Structure 1
């Protein structure tokens, strides 16, 4: 009985590994808290630059 059980366990392990390789994880890659804060700061800076450009164009058009 132990021999059958051992064989079944090893085949199951191989099958599980095979299936896990086939189905990649759907969840996004983990990003650390510090990296998220850095990315948010960069986005805020980029949005700030983008928002300043149209304002200067509006002021020029108004004069």
Structure 2
């Protein structure tokens, strides 16, 4: 009886691990508070800085 129980337990454990690999979480990856702050600052500076157009594009618009 004991041998059968051990075999069944190991098979159940393997099946459980295989099933867990198939169903990965849809949860987004954790981003630390410091990284979120850095990303917010980077996004803020991108929005505040004006986008400069190349000189060729500006010259073509004036013509």
Q: TM-score, normalised by structure 2?
A: 0.68
Instruction: Specify which structure has the higher proportion of helix.
Output: 1
Q: What residue number does 2:8 align with?
A: 8
Alpha-carbon offset, residue 12 of structure 1: 0.8
Q: TM-score, normalised by structure 1?
A: 0.68
Alpha-carbon offset, residue 21 of structure 1: 1.3
In the aligned structure 2, how far is the partner of 1:40 from the partner of 1:26? 24
Tell me how large the CA RMSD over aligned residues is. Answer: 1.9
- Off by >4 Å, runs of 4+ in structure 1: none
Structure 2 residue matching 1:17: 3-state secondary structure: helix
2:46 is the counterpart of 1:46: yes
Alpha-carbon offset, residue 35 of structure 1: 0.8
Alpha-carbon offset, residue 11 of structure 1: 0.5
Structure 1 unaligned runs (5+)? Answer: 54-63
> Number of aligned pairs?
52
